[in-house]
């Protein structure tokens, strides 16, 4: 899916911002990311209110494989293929996905920036010679006097 296709696809929904993300695009409206367009397909944001709609359509959550396991991302679900031909209904699903993303944003506590700790500079300590080095120096001094 390229940018132009996505812009046309969301024409009935309204203006969307499309930016590069992972191996595809992140799609957002009103500053909230609500969809992912990846090689694997188009995925909409979902929550406990919208997941039953995706399940009824036979959709599955987004998943990817790592070397060790397959990771299932339950917050993004694959858009049913039939919606690519019905832009009005796709717009309804997009509004529901945006609402789910906004609900998720409200649930998250705001990030608190930690104050940078001021690290007091430690005075530079001069190294004292070890006993071994002191003994060597003393021996060299005695030899020099002979």
Sheet holding 70-78, edge to edge: 17-21, 24-29, 32-38, 41-45, 70-78, 61-65
pLDDT tens-place string over residues 35-82? 999 988 899 999 999 999 999 999 999 998 899 999 999 999 999 999
Residue whose pair of structure tokens reads 């979902």 in the numeric block: 46
Tell me the CATH architecture of domain 3-107: 2-Layer Sandwich (3.30)
Q: Can you tell me the distance from the alpha carbon of 88 to that of 11, in angstroms, rounded to the nearest whole number?
A: 9
Does this model's pTM top 0.85? My answer is no
**pLDDT class for 124, splitting at 50, 70, 90?**
low
Q: Residue 2: pLDDT above 90?
A: no
Sequence ranges of the domains in the chain: 3-107
Express each pLDDT in 83-109 by its tens digit: 999 989 999 999 999 999 999 887 766
Asked if the model's pLDDT at residue 111 lies above 70, the reply is no
Beta bridge partners of 65: 70
């Amino acid at each position: 899916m390229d940018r132009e296709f996505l812009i046309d696809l969301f024409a009935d929904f309204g203006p969307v911002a499309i930016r590069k993300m992972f191996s595809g695009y992140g799609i957002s409206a009103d500053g909230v990311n609500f969809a992912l367009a990846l090689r694997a397909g188009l995925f909409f944001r979902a929550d406990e209110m919208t997941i039953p709609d995706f399940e009824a359509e036979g959709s599955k959550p987004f998943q990817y494989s790592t070397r060790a396991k397959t990771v299932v991302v339950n917050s993004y679900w694959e858009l049913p293929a039939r919606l690519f031909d019905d832009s009005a209904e796709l717009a309804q699903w997009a509004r529901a996905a945006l609402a789910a993303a906004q609900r998720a944003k409200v649930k998250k506590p705001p990030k608190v920036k930690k104050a940078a700790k001021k690290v007091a500079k430690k005075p530079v300590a001069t190294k004292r010679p070890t006993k071994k080095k002191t003994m060597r120096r003393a021996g060299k001094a005695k030899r020099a006097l002979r």
